[in-house]
Amino acid sequence: MLTSIATVCLSGGLVEKLHACAAAGFDGVEIMDADLIAAYESPEEIRALCDRLGLTIDMFQPMRDIEGVSDDVFAENLRRAEAKFDIMQRLGTDLVLVCSNVATASVDDDAVAAAQLGLLADAAAARGIRIAYEALAWGRYVDDYRHAWRLVELADRPNLGVCLDSFHILSRGHDPAAIEEIPAEKIFFLQLADAPRLDMDVLSWSRHHRLFPGEGDFDLTGFLAHVQRAGYTGPLSLEVFNDTFRQTDVTRTAAHARRSLSWLADRTARERGTWADRLPEPQRAQGIDFVEIGGGDLDAVDRLLDRLGFAFRGRHRTKPVRLWTAGDARIILNEQLRAERPRLSAFGLVVADAASAAARADALGAPAVYRRSYAGEQELPAVASPDGTEVYWNDAPDGWLAEFEGGRGVESFGGRVDHINVAYPWQDFDEAVLFMTSAVGLDAEPPADVPGPQGLVRSQVMRSRDGIVRLPMNLAPPTAPMPSRHIAIRTGDVIGVARAARARGLDFLPVPDNYYDDLAARFALDPELLATLRELDLLYDRDDAGEFIHFYTPTIGDVFLEIVERRGGYDGYGALNAPVRLAAQRRAGVGA
């Protein structure tokens, strides 16, 4: 697989962008005209830098508003083109993108457009330059790749072919199957972009909201499969206009972009049953091995877990690490993170082949995590997710339990980890979605907005298909503090757990009385249940499938716990209660 990326995807100056692309492992780049124009380096210097960095300049782009015009306008367009061909020869690239005419087209006649494309190709041929013609989704007369291909066929020049862009095709709902009818040698270039399904004008959608493959709603594996079956063997190139990636760190975004292509090629190969470009097998999570809270002083967390009814299972033989359990829910307290406030620092997944899971994450560019271990201790491979939370894989689940000694507590309830709630600043959100999809094997559910007291919090649930791993991710608004993370424990009797915890002196996040008045209005609840909810600061939700009862502990450092009970087939997270929780936490002095 050859990989490429348009320089317009990244922030900074052209030289920075090229360094970042090379560092991320791209084979080539598409150089955007505007990036070159704003650079002090000459085309010859850029060419030499790309040579040194091992980057091919796969395409120069774009040439706009060429075809479908009157003769005098076309003559002027040819003059413009010749000037750009000069630049291309200095850059040492032989392929130029020509987008279908948006602004100046005045002749809606395929014969005229094809003739003009032919003349442009002839002018290019004299310089050894090839033309990749692309239908923009908002082209004046040509807005469909099949139409662009008809024009290319009609013009019939060896150095004229098409450029296919997944956004322009899928955003319009055009069937990509006809790509297979285009001869491989006439597909000169392939641009890939994902996007969320948005109901807005396609130009704004394209210019502001494109995403890297795996982060949006397009069926890019199906799209790529068509292109591969057509016989295309050129670069897979990313062209992603996105307001966020235009301003995030260039090196990090380039790595993120490169990961999206590895994911896409792997997924497409698996769906097609082909072997090239496969990464190590994705490992389905069979369970959550543990969740870890790290920090310099976790005494308050010990106290919290004790009052909740967790059992203390002892200290680690060689490290300042403690284990608490409630049934299958295992929480590790790690005081090796010396100077830090308590936070959700890691979680572990039970898989069939931990080494393969780690190898896959490594192939996707996730940084490996090192932790010192001693002879006889179980070693778990791990990587860091984009916010630093570490992800461990374990294929010998109970192996490390024996490393903890001196426990004495008795569990007062059985539970399991229901979900792990993490949070990302807005600029790292899409990267996190791709990481969780590609390296951890979770799927993205449709996102929702939750009104918090300091702005809308976007909630994006990532989960394994069977629901064993559920990872709601919160996106913080730019000016608001990051939401705290939390661990939700599922039990069959949340009322009993709450009552016992209260008897042991646990503080609850207090719920306003008005909430219960509203609950009574919304649902015709049994008065006794309502009284119990009110007494114990429990929150409630219901849908057609079942009921959800839950409560929150106060926040310690940057983490808190939630205890949940799912009755019937309720599969949500009590989203309607989130604004109440956020307001209560803000009042308690915690970040929104």
| Interaction site with a second copy (CB under 8 A) | 8, 11-13, 33-34, 36-40, 42-43, 76, 79-80, 83-84, 86-87, 198-201, 204, 207-208, 243, 246-248, 426-427, 449, 451, 453-456, 477-480, 510, 512-515, 517-518, 520-522, 524, 579-580, 582-584, 586-587
Strand-pair category, 3-6 with 28-32: parallel
Nearest distance from C-beta of residue 284 to a second copy, angstroms: 35
Measured distance CA(286)–CA(206) in Å, rounded: 39
191 marked ligand binding residue: yes
| DSSP bridge partners of 61 | 32
Task: Find out whether 185 is annotated in a ligand binding site.
Answer: no
- Closer to a second copy by CB, 374 or 426: give it: 426
User: With respect to a second copy, which residue has the nearer C-beta, 482 or 580?
Assistant: 580
Q: Is 256 annotated as a binding residue?
A: no
Query: DSSP labels for 20-33?
Result: HHHHTT-SEEEEEH
Residue closer to a second copy (CB basis): 41 or 362: 41
340 is in an annotated binding site: no
User: 136-139 long-range CB contacts below 8 Å, 24 or more apart?
Assistant: 136/99, 136/100, 136/102, 136/168, 137/167, 137/168, 137/169, 137/171, 137/172, 137/202, 137/203, 137/206, 138/102, 138/202, 138/203, 138/206, 139/99, 139/100, 139/101, 139/102, 139/105
Q: Which is nearer to a second copy, 82 or 353 (CB)?
A: 82
- Using the minimum distance from each CB to a second copy, give the nearer residue, 155 or 539: 539
Which tokens go with 345? Answer: 């620092």
Compute the least distance from the CB of residue 476 to a second copy, in Å: 10
- Contact predicate 556/445, CB 8 Å: no
Cβ at position 207, least distance to a second copy in Å = 8
Q: How far is the CB of 512 from a second copy (least distance, A)?
A: 5
Nearer to a second copy, 51 or 86 (CB): 86
When computed from its CA atoms, the radius of gyration of the chain, rounded to whole angstroms, is: 28
For residues 427 and 433, give the distance between their C-alpha atoms in angstroms, rounded to a whole number: 12
Cβ burial, residue 109 (10 Å; 0-12/13-18/19+): exposed
Q: Which residues contact 528 (CB under 8 A, 6 or more apart)?
A: none
How far does CA 344 lie from the centroid of its chain?
20
Is the CB of 224 or the CB of 511 nearer to a second copy? 511
The answer on whether 419 is annotated among ligand-binding residues is: yes
Q: How far is the CB of 583 from a second copy (least distance, A)?
A: 4
- 292 a known binding residue? no
496 CB burial (10 A radius; 0-12, 13-18, 19+): middle
**φ, ψ (nearest 5 deg) of residue 14:** -60, -40
Was 201 annotated as part of a binding site?
Answer: no
Binding-site residue set for Mg(2+): 419, 486, 562
Indicate the annotated binding residues for a divalent metal cation.
134, 165, 191, 239
Name the binding residues. 134, 165, 191, 239, 419, 486, 562
